[in-house]
Structure 1
Amino acid sequence: MINDLKKFLNEEQDPKAVEKLLSKVSGLLTSGEQIEYVAVQKKPALNLSPDCIALTNKRIIFCRPRNLGLSMDFQDYAWKDILDCHMKEGIMGATFSMKTIKGNVNMLDYLPKAQARKLYQFAQEKEENMIEYRRQHDLETKRAIAGGGIIVNAGTSMPQNVETKEDPLEILQKLKKLLDGEIITQEEFDIKKTEIISKM
């Protein structure tokens, strides 16, 4: 536990707050999930139970102690649901905020600037990965809607004449929609078009 603790104290995090957070959050982690970074609020007034943010490889977890630290509220957001993260530096520290694709917003203020920068840096990397994830997911959804049962370049052992159960002209129209929607390339369209015409 001590070695685990040291890797989260690189930007002058409060060791007691980090230790308490790790003991609580560790029990919430799912299979394959790991805590990557911890940021601890540092208010100008005495704060025995500061709010914290834990970043894992799967989500952001906002941790807010209640009842003098005897209990804790957790709010977590999966990276795939996060639209944008921001950081704003002020005189008394920095504020880290995030917004989900559904419009939910959460933030934590009075963060030391070095910790807020690390949060922001990590979040930006995750955001970039999730943009690509969402793009792929949207493409698959569009393909399913537009193509129905059309299979393009699938290396399966299905017979090649499966497509011929549908009207060849309907298949060509669906393929054209996929092409117009930039879901398939001109080359893929031409290959399938030639296949279909050769079977007519």
Structure 2
Amino acid sequence: MVWLAELPDEILENLYPGEDVLYSVKKKLYTELKPKYLIVTDRRIIYLDQKILGRYDLIDIPYEKLEFVHFKKGKIGAKFIIRNEEGEEIVLTWMEKDEAEKAIEAIRDAINAIAVEPVSIQKRKGILGFELELSKPKEFITRTYPQAVAKAAPKEDPIERIRKLKELYESGVISREEFEEKKRKLLDQI
């Protein structure tokens, strides 16, 4: 679990009520003035690229829209790629192998918490590098998040409804026949 106090306001302001942050990676590159974040929550992946003067880019990919997550570490560099169903990608070149493994494991665990069928991480080790990949199945069926149960409106007492009908009849809004018919139906409910 990640301490929320360690996260920037830009992330905290964009979390849904009840959304849990499972994993967070922060990197400040030498050439950058502000850090970048990869946040894994129980509902989505969030990428935050802070800019100067309070500006930032925030991209989020809900697990339902995720196509795959891929990490490849070679002798020269590394790439962490997150792609959504529309083909849009977030490409991070600053993640270390252990950070990538923890991030992919957190994503897998979050997906498996809502997926009907579990997903797994594919690992490949070659002579010159290491790869991890997590692909969401094409038929991704999820369990829904618990929703607040809507309370049914309490039914009004039939006798009280008859009184209101009588007022409508006496004021001329409904006819005697309408009043008698509705009154009979309400009396049947008692």
TM-score norm. by structure 1 comes to 0.50
Pair 1:137–1:115, CA change in 2 (3 A) = closer
Tell me which amino acid in the other structure corresponds to 2:117. E
| Bigger Cα Rg | 2
Deviation at 1:32?
1.6
Aligned pairs (5 A) from 1:53-92: 53-67=38-52, 70-91=54-75
Q: Of 28, 31, 34, which aligns to 1:49?
A: 34
The 1-side partners of 2:140 and 2:21 are apart by 26
| C-alpha distance 52-84 of structure 1, shift in aligned 2 (>3 A) | same
RMSD, matched Cα: 3.0
Q: How many corresponding residue pairs?
A: 121
Question: Percent same amino acid at aligned positions?
Answer: 24
Cα distance in structure 2, aligned partners of 1:115 and 1:41? 11
The letter for the 2-side match of 1:29 is L
The Cα shift of 1:93 comes to 5.9
**Which residues of structure 2 form unaligned runs of 5+?**
119-137, 143-190
* Letter matched to residue 64 of structure 1: D
| Letter of the 1:94 counterpart | A
Aligned to 1:4: 3
Q: Identify unmatched segments of 5+ residues in structure 1.
A: 6-17, 139-200
Q: Which has the higher strand share?
A: 2
| Preserved contact between residue 42 and residue 110 of structure 1 (Cα < 8 Å) | no
User: What is the CA deviation profile of residues 87-145 of structure 1, one whole-angstrom value per residue up to 9, with x for unaligned ones?
Assistant: 1124566321111122222121111322122112222334555473974749xxxxxxx
Deviation readout 1:130-174 (Å, 9 max, x if unpaired):
473974749xxxxxxxxxxxxxxxxxxxxxxxxxxxxxxxxxxxx
Aligned with residue 25 of structure 2, among 25, 39, 45: 39
Matching residue's letter, 1:104:
E
Q: Structure 2 vs 1, CA of residues 100 and 48 (structure 1 numbering), >3 Å: closer, same or farther?
A: same
TM-score (norm 2): 0.53
Aligned AA (1:115): E
Between the aligned partners of 2:51 and 2:111, the Cα distance in structure 1 is 30
